[in-house]
A and B are shown apart, each in its own frame.
Chain A
Amino acid sequence: MTRRDARAFWLFVGPFLLGLAVFAYLPIGWSAYLSFFDARNTVTPTEFVGLGNYGHMLTDEPFLSSLGTFSVFAVFIVPLTFVLSLALALGVNQLRFARAFFRSVFFLPFACSYVVASLIWKTSLFSGVRYGLANTVLSVFGVDPVAWTGTVHPPLYWVVLVTARLWLQLGFYMILFIAALQRIPVQLYEAAWLDGAKPGWPVFRHITLPQLRATAVAVLLLNLINAYQAFDEFYNIMGDARGYPPFARPPLVYLYYTSLGSGGQDLGRGSAGAVILALLIALVTVLQGRVLRFGRAA
């Protein structure tokens, strides 16, 4: 690399590296540091508590139950997103007309703010009053208004949370699948056709799906990580100015209230929780990658 090349490299890459260091690596490092201190209402603590904050978080019922909440959410959202985005991709990819239009239509929600979408879901589609859209539809069938976000038995709030996220992210994963579908050589299908295979489940099962394996694994990994990091729609749909209910409280929401809650910032325990969560995500991601043989040839 010439000196000129090096200068150009640092000119373009430098600002991003600097931003990454200042806004990502430094906070992560500082957070790890804080996790070993009693850091209530301070980012420059002096009282070293060793693994005390970790011990507290690992026995803290609300934190552990928030991990359970995530698990329920992941059980719903990961397979649903996978299957529906793949189905959408297959459908849109087979269109002969207006393919670009439908591709755009389904992708567009991905550009929408999670906060805006959450508020629409909460106040318009699934509001608990008689003129909410869902309740208006139900009223046609003589069903009384349903308190979607306030009903715990059965847990109808999951309908609101899951549909909001599906609407927001299906389009993105659909695009990934469409790109993968378009990379499958047509000759494979032609050969199968010559061998007597008819379009349908056998071709999908033995040609399309194996060819999508790399993308499918990536989608599963991204989905799981995104589920762990769920915050915006939960916070805006389930929370209010007074706080947040213990049910449907994912880890990031709990850690937000622990670390940044008004009046009581416990940055030590919040940081310990964040480190635990990061390690958990890394562990699960590695395990999932190994089980699904991520990165290996089909």
Chain B
Amino acid sequence: MQRNRRSFLALAGMGALATACGSNTGRQGDPPPSTAYSAGPPPSDAPKAALQQWYHAYGEEGVQDAVKRYASSYPGAAVTVQWNPGDYDSKIVTALQNSKVPDVFEAQVKIDWVRQKQVLPLDDVIGPVKGDFSPAVLAAQTVEGRVYGIPQATDTQVLFYRKSLLQAAGVQPPQTVDELVDAAAKLTKDGVKGLFAGNDGGVGVLTGPLLWSAGLDYLKNGNREVGFDDPRAATALGKLHTLNANGSLLLGAPADWSDPGAFIDGLTAMQWTGLWNVPKIRQAFDEDFGVLPFPKLDGSGAPSVPVGAYGAMVNAKSAHVTEAKAFVKWLWIDQTQDQLEFATKFGFHVPSRQSLIGRADNLKSGPAADAARFVQENGHLVGGPVWTQPSNTALSDAVAKIAKEGADPAAQVKTAVEVARSELKRLFG
């Protein structure tokens, strides 16, 4: 399965970033220069270290050529780019266990990697420009106060809706979860479903937004406590069962939530999908669509969008860690123009360096601008480095049973809380 630039959201969490800092051109509007890491490219007559850099297989045309171009123009080392189709996330964790390769790679850090000393902290690389990154995006790369990845580009998901279909049905863009449920039901008619949020009935992509809608989260208090041990979690997650049970969700679509096909083909009036789909949707509907964050549960909750980012990381077992860190700094801190191109030229992504968002022309108006604003105002990290696989499986199972089988939300949430609490105890004692 080849994944595109957004589907990494689908796997680990979310993501993003992009841009830059650096280059220290002194031009007005440039991000602040990095002075954090002194290891620069070696003198031109010195033998170059050979570095291997891994990416997952981005779907957008031109990305592979671009990152190869960036690597080949680096003067400090001979960097070879490896493009990895298939299950990249499993491949990278396997490679990190005992291999010196790759030297540099993209991923979202997990606390177990840090505990196993598989990745290097990059605080000296990110240095004084750290404050320029969106907090949520930076949090995806931070474990116990140390940064292990330089965010490359930010992505998000929003609720796309067809203005004309809502107008015809007399439905206002939903501002609360109940309004979303009502809207989905009213829009379900004539072979068109109200909402598409994945073939799993929204279990995968709506769990986080539902928790945030109630003012909750996966973890809280510095990742030391379970964030959804609250009756409101059961209330919010129970809404997913209503959506699944009343027939207003599109299920079994040929392409899943990350693809705009169902929305463009008129199979659904609303779809929860990624910002990256704006160009295709605009091509299909012109201005007949809008975007919204996931609505709040009630007056005590808040609207939300998930954010996520792959970060550039350094393998602790690399034979060239100094050179690898220098390369990461050069590419993902200093080369601002490349970072901006990487984030915005090949698709719709938000630079996670806040100073660069204003330079992204395709994010300045319309739904894309709205989505970029949602990222800044309503962005949440999905899970995060301390949210482990057992916790994720337990919560996902619980939500699936609530949504699809009508299981008791309170009991299911309690089961997931116990697993998550056990994982936190394992990690922090």
Interface residues, chain A, with chain B CB atoms under 8 Å away? 40-44, 61-62, 123-124, 126-130, 132, 145-153, 240-243, 245-247, 257-258, 260-266
Contacts and interface: CB of A to CB of B under 8 A. Distances in A.
A149 B253 CA distance: 10
B184 interface: no
Contact of A246 (B1, B94, B400): B400
A240 B89 contact: no
Contact of A240 (B90, B199, B254, B393): B199
B71 to A, nearest CB: 25
A243 B251 contact: no
Nearest to B397: A246
B252 A266 contact: no
A128 B7 contact: no
B390 A266 contact: yes
B388 A264 contact: yes
B191 A130 contact: yes
B252 A262 contact: no
B87 interface: yes
A23 to B, nearest CB: 16
A148 to B, nearest CB: 6
Quick one: which of B7, B11, B87, B115 has the most chain A CB within 10 A?
B11
Given A150-B201, A242-B200, A123 B3 contact: no
B97 interface: yes
A147 B251 contact: yes
Quick one: which of A42, A61, A258 has the most chain B CB within 10 A?
A42
Contact of B252 (A127, A152, A245, A263): A127
A116 to B, nearest CB: 12
A59 to B, nearest CB: 12
B94 A242 contact: no
B424 interface: no
Given A153-B405, A242-B198, A263 B250 contact: no
A295 B206 CA distance: 54
Contact of A262 (B11, B205, B401): B11
Main secondary structure of the interface of A (DSSP, over half): loop
A97 B396 CA distance: 55
A123 B87 contact: no
A127 B199 CA distance: 10
Nearest to B396: A243
The 5 closest A-B pairs by CB, nearest first: A128-B252, A264-B389, A242-B204, A262-B89, A147-B251
Interface residues of B, number: 51
B374 to A, nearest CB: 21
Nearest to B88: A262
B123 interface: no
A124 B400 CA distance: 25
A147 B250 CA distance: 8
Contacts of B108: 263
Interface string B368-405: 00000000000000000000111011001100110011
B258 interface: yes
B98 interface: yes
A245 B203 contact: yes
Interface string B257-271: 010001000010000
Nearest to B1: A241
Given A41-B113, A62-B397, A257-B393, A241 B90 contact: no
Given A40-B112, A241-B256, A262 B405 contact: no
16 contacts: A62-B393, A123-B254, A127-B254, A128-B199, A129-B253, A129-B267, A145-B252, A153-B406, A240-B199, A241-B1, A241-B7, A241-B10, A261-B90, A262-B11, A265-B389, A266-B389
A150 B400 CA distance: 11
Contacts of B415: 61
Contacts of B252: 126-129, 132, 145-150
Nearest to B400: A245
Nearest to A259: B90
